[in-house]
Amino acid sequence: MAKRPQIGAIYEANFLFEISADEEIQHQLSVMGRKHNIWENIAAKLNNNGYNRTASQCKTKIHNLEQKYEKAKHLD
């Protein structure tokens, strides 16, 4: 049986998704070659709201969420 995520982790993932889904951030991610500064800005926004995450952790989390979404989408 799969372990259920803690409610705080769900809120954090949702907030991270909201930040990264911003139109300006999506535009920057699509046109910029080096994206580390963008992920640093995303991490800073999370940190300002009480979630202590690095740029690398944010990038990995979004990547993992995208993969899980694609996997779930193809199960139907």
Please check the confidence at residue 1 and state whether its pLDDT lies above 60.
no
Helix or strand holding residue 6 (H, E): none
This prediction has a pTM of 0.82
Distances (CA, A) of 20 to 2, 8, 27: 27, 18, 10
- CATH value at residue 34: 1.10.10
**Range 53-57 average pLDDT:** 97
Q: How high is the pLDDT of residue 74?
A: 84
Residue 2: band (very low, low, confident or very high) from pLDDT cuts 50, 70, 90: low
Residue 46 lies inside a defined structural domain of this protein:
yes
Domain carrying residue 61: 9-73
Is there a domain that residue 2 lies in? no
Question: Could you give the CA distance from residue 44 to residue 53 in angstroms, rounded to a whole number?
Answer: 8
Question: Quick one: pLDDT at residue 7?
Answer: 82
pLDDT in tens, 18-54: 999 999 999 999 998 899 999 999 999 999 999 999 9
